[in-house]
Amino acid sequence: MKRKYYVILYIVFAVVFIQSCSKFEPIAPAEDEILDGPIEGLNFGQSRQFLAGDVAFNDEIFTSQTGLGSVFVATSCGSCHAGDGKGTPFTTLTRFGQIDSTGNQFLHLGGPQLQNRALPGYTPEQIPAGAKFSKFTPPANTGLGFIELVSDGDILAMADPTDANGDGISGVPNYEYLPAFVQPFFNATPRNGKYIHRFGKKASAYNLLHQTVNAYNQDIGITSTFNPKDVFSGNNIDPEVSDLTVHNVVFYLQTLKAPIQRNQNDAEVLQGKKLFSQIKCASCHMPQLTTGISPIAALSNRTFFPYTDLLLHDMGSALDDGYTEGSAKTFEWRTPPLWGLGLSPNSQGGQYFLMHDGRAKSIEEAIQLHGGEALQSKNNFTQLSQADKNALLKFLKSL
């Protein structure tokens, strides 16, 4: 019976497919094309904690049932930090109310962060009259475990508050008091009870725990034992995220791999890298830093390439929004790491939104917006030949 063969064929087909099925599945993007994923060298236990943090960060969507709001900015960490990359105007948040180191004068009116969205049936906040504000576009979250482990000593060595070397670039740390739930690092170098903060656009978060607790609280309206104050009512309420989850998320951030450079041996990229130092970009965007000792072996004593000095710089009046945090001036911004820069469009909907508020739509535009201490460096860039500019941009995109 010939018909049999059809059925047999069908079964054989099925078996063949079952045997070789993963070959028919989409392949993974190259490791250097994506930002997410753990650092190498985690043990099994650490990998599990990384995964638990990954789920909390990317998949845990808060709803009114689980504590979202009643006023909020977004519904999960991953909503703003898609693929652990930079954000867009949609995920940009607004802070207001502080103009100098005397602190935020608008805390009683909802400061520092504008809760610009609300659950149905509630009204979001508005920027109070007279309050200065600034918009913050989410940065990438990668390689932060390395950055957390740069010693205060190393940061201070890069600072040059009086411009002793006369290159027009100073750089100061943001000193602030620690919130009660944050423990200082064993090798911290405090000054008058204030500690060097390093995370965020104004370097106003001390470590990843500090940043994470604030993010839950200010970005999603989620209280924790670390910060039980509800942004909507101003009252202390029950925790809406567990300590364990917070620690898992912190661990996840600490062990997210650093972005991997692409085409690093390309001649043009190498030429661009040289120019980057020559025209003094590297004076702020420090190519190389080292970590200290960490209980996570894979992070201990490593050299890494973030292109930042973690210091605040005067960036000129065009970038001065009149708002600030900690001891930073309104015109001072922390040098952002440039690693992962070339992958930004993959999380920004195919475009670039650079600088603190995403106002620059290309790398070149971002450079042109540099002023203040970076003015000379920017002018150097403008004077480059087109070929050199292209090489520099190609280098930046390879990061």
Residues that bind ligand HEC (CB under 6 A): 57, 73-74, 77, 79-81, 91, 93, 136-139, 141, 144, 169, 199-201, 208, 211-212, 215-216, 219-220, 249, 253, 279-281, 283-285, 313, 315, 319, 333, 335-336, 338, 341, 354-356, 363, 366-367, 370, 373-374, 377-378, 381, 396
Got the DSSP string for 353-398?
A: -BSTTS-BSSHHHHHHT--GGGHHHHHHHHHS-HHHHHHHHHHHHH
Find which of another protein, ligand HEC, none residue 333 binds, CB within 5 to 8 Å per kind: ligand HEC
The Cα 299–Cα 297 span in angstroms is: 5
Among 74, 114, 169, 338, binds another protein (CB under 8 A): 74
Q: Is the peptide bond before 190 cis (omega within 30 degrees of 0)?
A: no
Tell the smallest beta-carbon distance from residue 178 to another protein (Å): 32
Q: What single-letter amino acid sits at 365?
A: E
Tell the smallest beta-carbon distance from residue 40 to ligand HEC (Å): 21
Length of the chain: 399
The Cα 190–Cα 373 span in angstroms is: 26
Nearest CA among 201, 183, 232, 262 for reference residue 70: 232
- 48: contact with another protein by CB under 8 A: no
User: What is the CB neighbour count within 10 angstroms for residue 338?
Assistant: 21
Among 46, 76, 104, 291, binds another protein (CB under 8 A): 76
Q: Which is nearer to another protein, 92 or 327 (CB)?
A: 92
User: What is the CB neighbour count within 10 angstroms for residue 31?
Assistant: 9
Q: Are strands 303-304 and 312-314 parallel, antiparallel or unpaired?
A: unpaired
User: What is the CB neighbour count within 10 angstroms for residue 280?
Assistant: 19
Q: Which is nearer to ligand HEC, 23 or 217 (CB)?
A: 217
Helix 44-54 to helix 243-255 angle (10° resolution) is 110
Tell the smallest beta-carbon distance from residue 88 to another protein (Å): 6
The Cα 40–Cα 38 span in angstroms is: 6
Among 261, 346, 376, 380, binds another protein (CB under 8 A): 346
Find which of another protein, ligand HEC, none residue 68 binds, CB within 5 to 8 Å per kind: another protein
Q: Which is nearer to another protein, 231 or 279 (CB)?
A: 231
The Cα 138–Cα 304 span in angstroms is: 22
- 349: contact with another protein by CB under 8 A: yes
Nearest CA among 32, 81, 90, 31 for reference residue 58: 81
Find which of another protein, ligand HEC, none residue 346 binds, CB within 5 to 8 Å per kind: another protein
- 117: contact with another protein by CB under 8 A: yes
- 181: contact with another protein by CB under 8 A: no
Tell the smallest beta-carbon distance from residue 159 to another protein (Å): 36
Q: Which is nearer to another protein, 183 or 233 (CB)?
A: 233
- 123: contact with another protein by CB under 8 A: yes
Q: Which is nearer to another protein, 58 or 255 (CB)?
A: 58
The Cα 296–Cα 304 span in angstroms is: 16
Find which of another protein, ligand HEC, none residue 212 binds, CB within 5 to 8 Å per kind: ligand HEC
Map tokens 């709803």 to a residue.
Answer: 63
Give residues in contact with another protein (CB under 8 A).
Answer: 3-4, 6-7, 10, 13-14, 17-18, 21-22, 24-29, 60-61, 63-65, 68, 72, 74-76, 79, 82-83, 88-90, 92, 117-124, 346-351
